[in-house]
Amino acid sequence: MKFRYSIVTRFALFFTALIIFSILLSGYLVFRKASGVIVAYSQDRINYSSEMAEQAFYALLNEVSNDIAVIANSPTLQEYVDNPSHENTADIDQLFRILLQKKPSYFQIRWIGVQGNGKEIIRFDKRNNEVFKSDTLQEKGDREYYRKSLELGQGEFYFSEINLNEEYGVISEPLTPTLRAASQIFNSAGQPMGILVINVNMNKLYETLDRIAGSDYQLYLIDSKGEYLYSPAEEDRFASQRNKSHNFYTDFNVDPVEKLSSHENFDLLKTENQIYLSSIKELEYFKGKRKVYLISSIEQQILLESARAVRRYSLRTLFVVCLLSILVSLIFTSFLSNKIKQITRAISNYEKGLSNNISLPVSRKDEIGILASSFAKMKTRIDENVEALNQSLEKEKHAKKQRDEFLQNMSHEMRTPLNSILGLTQILYKHSPSEAQLPIISSLEKSANNLAGLVYDVLDHQKLVEGKLQISHHSTNIAKLLKDIHSSYQFEAVQKGLTFTLSLDKKLEENKFKTDPLRLSQIVTNLVVNALKYTREGKIDLTAKIISFKTETPVLEIEVKDTGIGIESENISRINDRFFREKEDLSGRYSGYGLGLSIVKQLTELFGGELQAKSTKGSGSEFYVTIPVTIAGQEHMNKDQVARQTISPRLANVYNILLIEDDLSTVELIKHILDDNKITLQQVDHLNAAVEILNTSSPDLVISDLMLEDKNLQPILTDWVNLKKIKCPLVVASALEPGDLKKVSPFYFQKPYNPKDLNDRIYQLLGKNEFPIPDFSNIYSNYDNDSDKVSRVLKLLHEEFHTYLERIYKAAEKGDQKEWEAILHKLITHINNLALHEFREILPKKVALVNRAKLETIHDHFAYYLCCIRTERYSI
């Protein structure tokens, strides 16, 4: 081939020149636009800083407004306003003290009466993080915030100008930029009784502004007179109050009327030494009666330095890249000229294989022409094959989607009513049924559990096929599990005239083992159901024992033996096939093996065990399952266990819960669970109603199904949470898979769930607004995050707290000081370990001080801690 025909040579020369030209042109354009890009970036950064600072400012105002509203509407303050007794005054003192302790930015809170020229009645101050009640009370009738607050109506708030805190005309040390917020308080008759005032230290906001500005940008907060309310230089702040001469207008040679009227636009500010790119934003508060101005800026010199750096870097980069481009082109030309013939031969031999969709001209006289000629022979057939494969793939995807939708819908439609049945069954137990009713309720519960097992079989089979199902080991009483299964199917066996026996190894009676109780129950249940189905007369024996007990890995052996119709010897190996039937004409109760034995086989292998079968046609069958287990403990089954008690705390506040659920039976179940006069339940069965409630009110808790009106709410609820449409805790209770539920909220329950667990979770979430939350981190760290050990410790802690509560009642009733001190001595360890420092203050040192009200408070705290402990055990 002649050199002039070589496409490699022409390609290399052309693209080398093109690359060098493109690099030089790009470098020129980058250098030319560098300053503009940097300025644009700086403007974006200034806008961003302004927005962040604005959000921080208004967030502080909102926080103060919310706190004043909470205190003004609190029952404690209302009781004090209506009846200012000594006891109510003590409650107000406690309320004010707690607020100052909880809020780092608040350093003073006062209650000022409307009589006596605005005489301070109660005043708390905070200095050096120490809160104390002031004995020095003043008259504030001449202060603006007092006069203006008297003009406010109920629910309105006053905000002062920002200035340094002064006492009797003397600026307080250290210098404290202060914002005063106030609200007028009315009694039950609607008469004004006083003014609630909170002094807010703005230093926390100033620290936030420091972080937002960083080292290159400057932020200023000024009033309409040019007074620095905030400046990076502390000596510039509140100059007029401190008899200083600093002022924004004079420092930057600014005309107030011209500059402040053009806020939110970019402009240049000049001092004697520097020029700044800046933006001014107007911030309004107190219904527009107060205005401050936020100025964001950056030195022009810093911008120019960045442009110079870009220029230097660009020149160096252009030189290096050009050299590398020439070198790479030379190497490419040499390499490609040797390899192109090999590629041509490879493609020529690839006529019957794979291909790509590149269309090349076949009339050229260079290497590309040879490649195109060979490629054209393969293209037509390969295109046909690819089209056929794509059609098959689309059909498979469609079939998989239909299957997934069917399983999801079936899960929801079956688990939702099962959840209601099982939940309402638990409620029936709570309403003291008669002796005659107990067997009926028990039978109802067992039947519902059996149906739940069938649902798990159907839904879990596809997971097994796809390898998505996992074993979850827990400490399990295998003997009790097998007894429950035997009891569930005993009646069905009697109805058929069969003898159904259970034989358990003594080791199973005396020990607990770590295994997956749900999957083990599915294995045994399927074997028992299969035996009942194919046995017309005779008996069924269920036997379980532990073999190799003294080795490190004990093995559980379960045998199900029947006298049924049996299986042909040549078909035993096929019983693991899904939907296998020995005779196609079997119907009714002998309709085939179905899914049962296939699930048993796959679950057994998932455990790392083995399924074996023996059968004689007409004489019966024997199935053996061996599964490795681990000893969980040597507890005897007859040992007395403390029953789980569900004491719920009494709530002081009224809470509004939004329930998004269209299943009426589930709604009734949740109404029973939340039968509390402090809880208001708003139930909706369509999205528009839920959106309306979330837009017009702020519920304290949202409980939602993930399927509503045959629509999956997972993306909708996720968006609501991310966009802060749902600002409160979200509890998801649905029949979908736990993985889907967990994506929406950490608080989730898969139907069917235990109503007690849902009750505990709801009270735990609501109660944290009124009670200190136990910190379980020490327990997890002490036991290396071992879930089994932590669960056992939490169980013991639950039992101990019940015991302490009973002892507290007895000690208080008898006035036994010695017993009281013993209780406090024991409790102090748990209080420190769980970080319940506020609870320590509630427990008096003298039992004589424990009156009825104090005892009720202690009871409610214990009830909340027990609720939290149960919730923590459930979430492990």
List helix spans (H) across 129-221. 144-150, 203-213
pLDDT band at 579 (very low <50, low <70, confident <90, very high): very low
**CB count in 10 Å sphere of residue 526:** 25
CA 218 to chain centre: 37
d(CA 265, CA 278): 8
Q: Residue 241: what pLDDT?
A: 87
**CB count in 10 Å sphere of residue 393:** 10
Mean pLDDT, residues 481-494 taken together = 86
Q: Residue 588: what pLDDT?
A: 36
718 and 676 Cβ atoms separated by less than 8 Å? no
pLDDT tens digit sequence for 227-273? 999 999 889 999 988 888 889 888 888 877 665 654 556 677 877 77
List helix spans (H) across 237-299. 248-251, 256-260
Q: Note whether 45-325 and 470-633 share their fold.
A: no
pLDDT band at 447 (very low <50, low <70, confident <90, very high): low
Q: Residue 601: what pLDDT?
A: 86
453 membership: H or E segment, kind and range: helix 437-466
Q: Are strands 679-684 and 655-660 parallel, antiparallel or unpaired?
A: parallel
pLDDT tens digit sequence for 791-829? 889 989 998 998 999 999 999 889 899 999 999 988 998
DSSP code string of 480-532: HHHHHHHHHHHHHHHHTT-EEEEEE-HHHHH-EEEE-HHHHHHHHHHHHHHHH
54 and 294 Cβ atoms separated by less than 8 Å? yes
pLDDT tens digit sequence for 398-440? 776 766 666 656 665 666 676 667 777 777 766 677 776 776 6
Average pLDDT, the chain: 81
pLDDT at 373 over 50: yes
Mean pLDDT, residues 363-380 taken together = 62
Q: Which of 567-576, 651-660, 843-852 shows the lowest mean pLDDT across its residues?
A: 567-576
Mean pLDDT, residues 470-486 taken together = 86
Q: Residue 258: what pLDDT?
A: 67
d(CA 765, CA 729): 7
Q: What residues contact residue 652 under an 8 Å CB cut-off, 6+ apart?
A: 75, 678, 770
Structure tokens at 810: 């007895």
Q: What residues contact residue 221 under an 8 Å CB cut-off, 6+ apart?
A: 53, 57, 162, 209, 228, 229, 230, 231, 292, 293, 294, 295
Residue with more model confidence, 322 or 851: 851
Q: Residue 644: what pLDDT?
A: 40
483 and 521 Cβ atoms separated by less than 8 Å? no
Helices 75-82 and 86-102, packing angle to 10 deg: 150
Mean pLDDT, residues 662-678 taken together = 86
Q: What is the dihedral of CA 245, 247, 250, 252, to 10 degrees?
A: 130
d(CA 98, CA 75): 15
Q: Residue 380: what pLDDT?
A: 66
d(CA 841, CA 835): 12
Mean pLDDT, residues 352-361 taken together = 52
Listed residue (431, 503, 439, 515) closest to 477, CA to CA? 515
pLDDT tens digit sequence for 135-171? 888 888 888 888 888 888 888 999 999 999 887 778 8
N- to C-terminal Cα separation, the chain: 75
Q: Residue 587: what pLDDT?
A: 39
By the 10 Å C-beta count (0-12 exposed, 13-18 middle, 19+ buried), 225 is classed as exposed
Report the CATH architecture of 655-754: 3-Layer(aba) Sandwich (3.40)
pLDDT at 186 over 80: yes
pLDDT at 358 over 70: no
Domain edges within the chain: 45-325, 470-633, 655-754, 777-875
Listed residue (507, 479, 492, 504) closest to 443, CA to CA? 492
DSSP 8-state class, residue 642: P
Mean pLDDT, residues 640-669 taken together = 78
599 and 469 Cβ atoms separated by less than 8 Å? no
pLDDT at 635 over 50: no
Structure tokens at 666: 């589930």
369 and 8 Cβ atoms separated by less than 8 Å? no
Mean pLDDT, residues 609-616 taken together = 87
Helix (H/G/I), strand (E/B), else coil: 210:
helix
pLDDT tens digit sequence for 684-697? 998 999 999 999 98
Residue with more model confidence, 229 or 384: 229
pLDDT at 755 over 50: yes
Q: Residue 141: what pLDDT?
A: 86
Q: Residue 50: what pLDDT?
A: 87
Placement of tokens 């096939």 in the chain: 577
Listed residue (365, 407, 636, 683) closest to 509, CA to CA? 636
Helix (H/G/I), strand (E/B), else coil: 274:
coil
Residue with more model confidence, 615 or 859: 859
Report the CATH architecture of 470-633: 2-Layer Sandwich (3.30)
Listed residue (801, 861, 830, 478) closest to 642, CA to CA? 801
Positive/negative CA dihedral, 434, 436, 439, 443: negative
Mean pLDDT, residues 770-793 taken together = 89
628 and 608 Cβ atoms separated by less than 8 Å? yes
Q: Residue 545: what pLDDT?
A: 92
d(CA 300, CA 399): 64
Residue with more model confidence, 456 or 76: 76
Structure tokens at 391: 């059609």
Q: What is the 3-state secondary structure (H, E, C) of 563-632?
A: CCCCCCHHHHHHCCCCCCCCCCCCCHHHCCCCCHHHHHHHHHHHHCCEEEEEEECCCEEEEEEEEECEEE
In this prediction the pTM is 0.44
594 and 579 Cβ atoms separated by less than 8 Å? yes
d(CA 701, CA 654): 12
pLDDT at 589 over 90: no
Give the largest CA-CA distance in the chain. Answer: 115
Residue with more model confidence, 759 or 312: 759
List helix spans (H) across 290-366. 300-348
In this structure, which CATH number among 3.90.1150.10, 2.40.70.10, 3.90.950.10, 3.30.450.20 belongs to the domain 45-325? Answer: 3.30.450.20
